[in-house]
Chain A
Amino acid sequence: MTIKLTINREESAIEAPPMKRLLDVLREDLHLTGTKEGCGEGECGACAVIVNGELVNSCLVPVLQAEGARITTIEGLAGEQRLHPIQQCFLEEGGAQCGICTPGMILAAHHLLQKNPRPTFVQIQEGLAGNLCRCTGYTRIFKAVQQAANLTPVP
């Protein structure tokens, strides 16, 4: 069937079986390979994307459910020439090591800061608890998110 989506501010129409995972549509049909598969069962958050403003594990979503949705993937975060402040902070603070959880983690951080621009330490810990990282012990990630929060003016 044909599914219409808005991905990173661009509209697209995709021919795909309705039960195909959103993750596979992003990676295979749209070649947006920044979204990663870690576990395939919604535990690790490596496949996290933002769908209509909510953080979603794309491995658990049949593409059918995404009809008409606005989706942001890691490819849609940076500007033409420069990194998004969260990406810049991850780079400077050592928030990325092997990098495989990083796209999902950055989107989780982005989602957290949109909902709560000045999170406390515990709120950061809890806000990222759906995204597993095996390299950093999370501490550099917390620092990166705190730093990004400090850079973002409160609306």
Chain B
Amino acid sequence: MTNQRQIVGHSSPRKEGAAKVTGRAQYVDDLTLPGMWYGATVRSTIPRGRIVSITFDPAIPWHEFTIVSAADIPGENAIVHVTSDQPCLASGRVNHVAEPILLLAHPDRAALPAAVAAVNIAYEELPAVFTIEDSESQKEIIWGEDNTFKTFLLQKDRQPVPDKVWRSADCIVEGEYRTGAQEQLYIENNGVIAEYSTGEGITVRGSMQCPYYLVEALAHVFRLPAEKCRVIQTETGGAFGGKEDFPSVIGCHAALLAMKSGHPVKLCYDRAEDMAATTKRHPSRTRIRTAVSRDGKLLAGEIDFTIDGGAYVTLSPVVLSRGTIHAPGPYHWPHLTVRAKAVATNIPPHGAFRGFGAPQSIFAIERHMDKIAHTLGLAPEEVRRRNFLTTGDRTATGQLLSDSVDLDRLLTRALEESGYHTKRAQFAKENPGSAMKKGIGIASFFHGAGFTGSGERRLASVVTIELTAAGQPRILVSSTEFGQGTNTILCQIAAETLHLPYDDVLIAQPDTSVVPNSGPTVASRTAMVVGKLVERAALKLLSILMQSGDLPEDFTPEDFRRAATIYLGRHGELRSTVEYEPAASIFWDDERFSGDAYPAYAWAVYIAEVAVDTATYSAQVTDFYALQEVGRVLNPTLATGQIEGGIAQAIGYALYEKCIWQNGVLANNQMTNYIIPTSADVPLMHVSFEEVPCPHGPGGAKGIGELPMDGPAPAILNAIEQATGIAFNKIPLLPEDIYEQVERMTTAPAETAA
């Protein structure tokens, strides 16, 4: 029997790693099907208006092309997620730039760009809305009755903040914080290949996170039963949420072209189209008002959290919900109200991106905690320490934290390991005489693992482990691998549970004709929720084999294979299937927005060091400490890699990545002018874990993927405040923003940060 500790908790090599390092891994654009044509999309060039006419330049041999419009859609012209307001193809009117209107297909990929340019669309333009403020003003109603996609009201104990708290508090601290849009910038663009046949229905292969989301989208657009909509995930070159909801759009488009042309159709965007047309992280504005005592205790808070959803609802209500629940931070609030809303603008719809609303609201509260500290003349770490949630407390939604929570310990360890106090004192002393201003800053935060609220209950995920003809266990899940390590950790969990070597366990390519619906690959849920189901399915498989009498209590891998072969000979197949069972103790009330928001939370303290060059005004992160408690670490190399990657992405969010829209057009839809961190821009990263096994995950694991996106941006801006003495409250913070503030300070010193 294999030693269990050697598998879970061990850095088993990535399952598909050899294929990736040799270039053999097949991504969608690497595939060619016989008779395959290529697709392209004709898009709107205005942010809002009516389509008056569509004409085709006679210079193009149009008879060679397949042309699809909304009129070709057999079912509902809608991409259905939370609602069905987003058309699959615009018909009559457009609500954002780059909205799809027509689709073209041709056997020669090179013939498409000229054809797209030769479709002339005339519009009657309508006034458009581009900012949260303009949307709120309702001067133009662009969506529904009031431009509002969704609102939430979160109240601690479901009571408003009593007036007397505001009157009697030692101090009231207020602030406004803003975050910008962010492009996921997976290095592989969105792409799919679709096939259609009248008898068999649709098959779509492609780069995606959630094959069953696309099945549902196809079923609506084609009015077909789900079993006639087959979706296969190909190797996926990064996703980060950007391939959660968007593949429903591109997948339906390619399938429409395949149906009408009678050929398989490949639709792969180039970088410029992907950046211009696909979803980004929601921009946000957060206003916080807090009543605090002189010694830094939070007495009450009111948080107004608003996100810009873009032109259609897509996943905005769900993003808003996660952002709302994370808005209070990991702190105890005697009284708290969070008012949240998602509003419409005429920008391409914003969608899922790692963190899913939490990086926005956590940026606000973590900058605000520093503001409270500066206002009261206290140390930022002490204000946090005095308000930390701890075991036995209730969160703002009323969830009892019965599992161990020890942020105090995390903070102490992070301060110590980073040499925080020494460095802070040293920077304070050296900065006045130095052209390179240094600073160090903290963020403490949490991230809920799994779907928000009653989501997991509704998903009712299913996992199967089957035996192959050779007697090897094979995991069947719709959970996808796109770099985070799904394949590897699920095989580790199954191998450990089955007492088999890691290499003996297989995992199937996600193909909806083969794998059950184990839910979408999102929300830091795969390790904890799907992993637990894999563990249960493995236990069940083992018990079936043991009950058959062919597998002894204490067995070797050879015994297992022999027993498996005997069982298969006798019964033909062995499939062990389990379904998610919600813990009876976990309950969420959607109506009142209260209860147990997540089965478990990851907790973290991050510390950033920065240097701001007063000659170039550029800020560089020079050192980074990330300490987190994520339950048991399943694979240290993969887990550390997840954290490091998230930190780099969040450094980009804080300091480099800016979406510039001009009249609704993304002006910098290129890697040349949308800047992400390179290898020369990342600091040394010191990543460490505290391991406190969690009862909800396999072997005690919790979710990890989104956590590192939450903390770096506020920690970096907190550090920049020490370096420059300026309280920057808006990201991205580019050198020109720093320059502008420094200049303003020189002319009006009164605006210096508190």
Cross-chain contact B187 with A36 (CB below 8 angstroms): yes
Cross-chain contact A134 with B185 (CB below 8 angstroms): yes
The residue in chain A whose Cβ has the minimal distance to the Cβ of B270 is A40
**Total contacting residues, chain A, CB less than 8 A:** 55
The residue in chain B whose Cβ has the minimal distance to the Cβ of A108 is B679
User: What's the minimum C-beta distance from B464 to chain A, rounded to whole angstroms?
Assistant: 26
A34-B22, A36-B187, A44-B671 given; A93·B270 CB < 8 A = no
Measured CA separation A88–B676 after assembly (Å): 27
Cross-chain contact B641 with A140 (CB below 8 angstroms): yes
User: What's the minimum C-beta distance from A49 to chain B, rounded to whole angstroms?
Assistant: 11
Of A33, A43, A97, A137, which is within 8 A of B484 by CB? A97
The residue in chain B whose Cβ has the minimal distance to the Cβ of A17 is B110
**Chain B positions 652-691 with a Cβ under 8 Å from a chain A Cβ:** 670-672, 676-680, 682, 685
Interface mask (A94-116 → B, CB under 8 Å = 1, otherwise 0): 11111111110010000000000
- Interface 9-residue window, one of B59-67, B233-241, B436-444, B493-501: B233-241
Chain A residues within an 8 Å CB radius of B25: 99
Measured CA separation A47–B511 after assembly (Å): 29
Of B30, B237, B638, B671, which is within 8 A of A94 by CB? B638
Q: Does A46 contact B (CB under 8 A)?
A: yes
Cross-chain contact A132 with B676 (CB below 8 angstroms): yes
Chain B residues within an 8 Å CB radius of A46: 187
Cross-chain contact B23 with A35 (CB below 8 angstroms): yes
Cross-chain contact B483 with A40 (CB below 8 angstroms): no
A34-B22, A91-B14 given; A132·B235 CB < 8 A = no
Chain A residues within an 8 Å CB radius of B26: 33
Cross-chain contact A96 with B188 (CB below 8 angstroms): no
Measured CA separation A97–B647 after assembly (Å): 15
Chain A residues within an 8 Å CB radius of B14: 91, 94, 96
Cross-chain contact A93 with B637 (CB below 8 angstroms): yes
Which of A41, A99, A106 has the most chain B CB within a 10 Å cutoff? A99
Chain A residues within an 8 Å CB radius of B29: 33, 37
Q: Does B16 contact A (CB under 8 A)?
A: yes
Cross-chain contact B270 with A136 (CB below 8 angstroms): no
Cross-chain contact A133 with B641 (CB below 8 angstroms): no
Interface mask (B1-45 → A, CB under 8 Å = 1, otherwise 0): 000000000010110111111111111011000000000000000
Of B237, B239, B240, B637, which is within 8 A of A99 by CB? B237
Measured CA separation A78–B20 after assembly (Å): 12
Cross-chain contact A96 with B20 (CB below 8 angstroms): yes
Cross-chain contact B637 with A139 (CB below 8 angstroms): no
Cross-chain contact B23 with A33 (CB below 8 angstroms): yes
Measured CA separation A141–B680 after assembly (Å): 12
Q: Does A92 contact B (CB under 8 A)?
A: yes
Cross-chain contact A136 with B187 (CB below 8 angstroms): no
Q: Does A131 contact B (CB under 8 A)?
A: yes
Chain B residues within an 8 Å CB radius of A78: 22
Chain B residues within an 8 Å CB radius of A97: 238, 483-485, 641, 645
**Chain A positions 7-49 with a Cβ under 8 Å from a chain B Cβ:** 27, 32-41, 43-44, 46
Of B187, B485, B682, which is within 8 A of A38 by CB? B187
Q: Does A135 contact B (CB under 8 A)?
A: yes
User: What's the minimum C-beta distance from A90 to chain B, rounded to whole angstroms?
Assistant: 5
User: What's the minimum C-beta distance from A46 to chain B, rounded to whole angstroms?
Assistant: 6
Of B188, B638, B641, B677, which is within 8 A of A36 by CB? B188
Measured CA separation A131–B678 after assembly (Å): 7
Cross-chain contact B483 with A38 (CB below 8 angstroms): no
Chain B residues within an 8 Å CB radius of A131: 679
Cross-chain contact A125 with B680 (CB below 8 angstroms): yes
Q: Does B271 contact A (CB under 8 A)?
A: yes
Of A38, A103, A124, which is within 8 A of B23 by CB? A103
Cross-chain contact A33 with B21 (CB below 8 angstroms): no
What is the predominant secondary structure among interface residues of chain A facing chain B? loop
Measured CA separation A130–B681 after assembly (Å): 12
A132-B678, A135-B238 given; A43·B23 CB < 8 A = no
Of A41, A83, A92, A126, which is within 8 A of B671 by CB? A41
Q: Does B186 contact A (CB under 8 A)?
A: yes
Cross-chain contact A134 with B187 (CB below 8 angstroms): yes
Interface mask (A49-80 → B, CB under 8 Å = 1, otherwise 0): 00000000000000000000000011101100
Measured CA separation A1–B251 after assembly (Å): 37
Cross-chain contact B645 with A44 (CB below 8 angstroms): no
The residue in chain B whose Cβ has the minimal distance to the Cβ of A99 is B20
Cross-chain contact A139 with B644 (CB below 8 angstroms): yes
Cross-chain contact A140 with B187 (CB below 8 angstroms): no
Cross-chain contact B187 with A73 (CB below 8 angstroms): no
Chain A residues within an 8 Å CB radius of B23: 32-35, 73-75, 102-103
User: What's the minimum C-beta distance from A30 to chain B, rounded to whole angstroms?
Assistant: 13
Chain A residues within an 8 Å CB radius of B518: none
Chain B residues within an 8 Å CB radius of A146: none
A125-B680, A142-B679 given; A136·B641 CB < 8 A = yes
User: What's the minimum C-beta distance from A135 to chain B, rounded to whole angstroms?
Assistant: 4
Q: Does B577 contact A (CB under 8 A)?
A: no
**Chain B positions 266-283 with a Cβ under 8 Å from a chain A Cβ:** 270-271
Measured CA separation A138–B651 after assembly (Å): 13
User: What's the minimum C-beta distance from B98 to chain A, rounded to whole angstroms?
Assistant: 18
Q: Does A128 contact B (CB under 8 A)?
A: yes
Cross-chain contact B679 with A99 (CB below 8 angstroms): no
Q: Does B155 contact A (CB under 8 A)?
A: no
User: What's the minimum C-beta distance from B355 to chain A, rounded to whole angstroms?
Assistant: 15
Cross-chain contact B679 with A141 (CB below 8 angstroms): yes
Measured CA separation A133–B238 after assembly (Å): 10
Chain A residues within an 8 Å CB radius of B11: 94
Q: Does B482 contact A (CB under 8 A)?
A: yes
Measured CA separation A32–B184 after assembly (Å): 27
Measured CA separation A97–B185 after assembly (Å): 15
Q: Does A129 contact B (CB under 8 A)?
A: yes
Chain B residues within an 8 Å CB radius of A136: 641, 644-645, 648
User: What's the minimum C-beta distance from A62 to chain B, rounded to whole angstroms?
Assistant: 15
Measured CA separation A32–B24 after assembly (Å): 9
User: What's the minimum C-beta distance from A109 to chain B, rounded to whole angstroms?
Assistant: 11
Q: Does B399 contact A (CB under 8 A)?
A: no
- Could you write out 10 A-B pairs with CB less than 8 Å apart? A83-B21, A87-B21, A91-B13, A92-B13, A96-B21, A97-B645, A99-B235, A101-B237, A137-B685, A138-B648
| Given A94-B641, A140-B637, 16 other A-B residues pairs in contact with their CB atoms under 8 A | A44-B187, A77-B22, A91-B14, A98-B237, A98-B238, A99-B237, A103-B23, A106-B21, A124-B679, A125-B679, A134-B240, A135-B641, A137-B648, A138-B682, A139-B641, A139-B682
Q: Would you list the 6 A-B pairs with minimal beta carbon distance, nearest first?
A: A34-B23, A100-B237, A98-B483, A99-B20, A137-B648, A74-B23
